[in-house]
Copies of this chain bind each other. A is one copy, B any other.
Amino acid sequence: MPLTLVEPRRIYHQIAEQIVAMIASGELLPNARLPSERDLAVRLGVSRPPVREALIALEVEGLVDVRMGSGVYVRQEAASRASTWRARKAGDVGPFELLAARRMVESTIAAEAAKNATTEQLDAIQETVDAIRDDSSRYDLRHPADRLFHVRVAEASGNTALVLLTNVLWDLRDGSLHRRIEEYFSTHELRDQSNQDHEDILTAIRAHDSRAASNLMRQHLDRVERELSRAWPTITSTARNEKEPARPAPKRRNRV
Contact = CB atoms under 8 A, between A and B. Distances in A.
- How many monomers of this protein are in the complex? 2
A14 interface: no
A7 to B, nearest CB: 10
A66 B120 CA distance: 38
A203 interface: no
Interface in A233-254: 249-254
Contact of A56 (B56, B92, B152): B56
A40 interface: no
Nearest to A152: B254
Nearest to A173: B77
A57 interface: yes
Interface in A135-180: 144, 147-148, 151-152, 155, 158-165, 167-172, 174
Interface in A2-17: 8, 10, 12
Contact of A84 (B8, B61, B167): B167
A31 B19 CA distance: 32
A76 B98 CA distance: 20
Nearest 3 pairs of A and B residues by beta carbon: A101-B161, A84-B167, A104-B108
